[in-house]
Amino acid sequence: MPVTVKDRDGNLVADLKRDEFRVFQDGIEQEIRRLNTEPIPLSLIILIDNDLKATDMKQVEPSLASIVAGLSTTDEAFVCRFDQYFHEGKGFTRDQDRLLTELRRTELSSRAATPPSGDPFGGPTINNAPAPGAPMTAENPSLRAIQGQPTKALDDAVYEAALRLKDRDSKKRRKVILLISDGKNGAKFNTHKYDVVREELLRQEISVYCVATGSAYFDRKFNRLVSYAHDTGGDIYYGAKQDSFSEFYSRITEEARNQYVLIYSPRGESKVDYHAIEVRVRREGLTILAREGYYGGTLATAPPK
C-alpha cells in the first residue's frame, strides 16, 4: 500500500517508522509486516489538456520542458494530449534528451478538436457515419456542443492513459499519470464514466497527480481533478503563474517516487471484490495521502527485502 505523508507546511515526512502506521481494510485493523522506503522508478504518463483558455496556455506551454528536471535516469515517460480526443505521443522513453525535445515541441491548440490521424470520426461508426453517441467532429456539425458546455473528454483521456500504463511492471515501477488541466469535462463526450475509469486506475495501481491551471482555481472547476487525485492516492496542486508549474512538477515526481510502502497480508473474511482501505499515523498534525481501496487480486508483489 503506497502512502505519502506530509506535515502542515506540505513537506514530505520521511522519518516515520512501521509502528507509527495503522492500516484498516474493510474496517479491520491489519498487521503491517514490513515498511519499504526505497525510492521506486516511475512509469509516467504526462497527460496535457489541449483545450485551454489562452491565459492557461501561456502558463502551461512554456513550463512543460521543466518536467524533465524532476525525473531520474531510471524513470520513463510518455507524452500525451487530449481535448475531445486522445492524442498519444511517441511512446515511453528514458532518454531525457528525446523527452525534452518532445516537450519543447508540444504546442497546445485552441482550435476546434480534430480526431487522431486515421480516425475520421474519432469514435464508433455505422455505415461510415458517426454512431449514436459518437464524439463530435468538424465533419459532424449537427453534434456540436450546446453553447456553454465543455466538449473535452477528460474521463476518456484518463482511461486511455491508464491503458498505456497497463503493461508496465508494477513490481519494479510506480505507475503515475501527471494530469495538467483546467478540470473541465464534457459528460456527453465521454464513453467511460468516472466510476469505470476509477476502477481501472485502482485495478492497475495507478496514481493520478494533477496540476490545475489558473482558470481551474478561479472558476472553481477542479472537482474532477480532486476526485482522481484523492481516490488513487495522488495529489493536486493549483497553478496561478508559470513559475509555480515548474516547481509543482518536481514536487510531484519526488512525492510519487518516495512513498512509504506498507506491506501486510489481509485478514478478515470478505467475498467482495473491492476492499476499502484507511491509513492512519500515530503522530499528530500530519496529512496522509493513500488510495481509497483496491480490487481483489490486483495488488503488486511486495518489493524484495
Kindly report, residue by residue over 258-298, the tens digit of the pLDDT.
Answer: 999 999 998 866 667 899 999 999 999 999 999 999 987 55
Q: Are residues 22 and 157 in the same domain?
A: no
Q: Could you say which DSSP state residue 148 is in?
A: T
**What local confidence, expressed as pLDDT, does residue 107 receive?**
85
Q: Indicate if 52 and 93 belong to the same structural domain.
A: yes
Verify that 197 and 296 share a domain, yes or no. no
Shared domain for 290 and 193, answered yes or no, is: no
Q: Is 140 contained in some domain?
A: no
Across all residues in the chain, what is the average pLDDT?
84
* Same domain membership, residue 15 and residue 51: no
Q: Quick check: 221 pLDDT over 90?
A: no
Is 142 part of a structural domain of the chain?
Answer: no
Note whether 87 and 177 are same-domain residues.
Answer: yes
Q: Averaged over 95-115, what is the pLDDT? A: 82
Number of domains in the chain: 2
User: Is 141 within the bounds of a domain?
Assistant: no
Pair (179, 112) in one structural domain = yes
Burial annotation 60-96 (CB, 10 A radius, 16+ → b, else e)? bbebbbbbbebbeeebbbbbbbbbbbbbbbeebbeee
Within this chain, do residues 152 and 245 fall inside the same structural domain, yes or no?
Answer: yes
Q: Which domain holds residue 281?
A: 1-39+259-305
79 inside domain: yes
Q: What is the pLDDT of residue 217?
A: 64
> 127 and 272 share a domain?
no
Clarify whether residues 35 and 60 are in a common domain.
no
Please indicate, yes or no, whether residues 122 and 252 belong to a single structural domain of this protein. Answer: yes
Which one, of 30, 22, 24, lies nearest residue 283 by Cα?
Answer: 22
Extract the C-alpha cell encoding 263.
Answer: 506491506
Query: Is residue 109 in some structural domain?
Result: yes
| CA distance readout (Å), 246 to 24, 45, 65, 91, 161 | 36, 17, 9, 23, 22
Do both 122 and 85 map to the same domain? Answer: yes
CATH number of the domain at 174, please.
Answer: 3.40.50.410
Residue 90 lies in a domain: yes
Nearest to 228 by CA among 154, 149, 152: 154
Assess if residue 87 is contained within a domain.
yes
Output the pLDDT for position 288.
96
The DSSP element (H or E) to which 9 belongs, if any, is none
Dihedral of the alpha carbons of 199, 45, 185, 88, in degrees to the nearest 10 = -110
- Identify whether 139 is part of a domain: no
pLDDT at 302 over 50: no
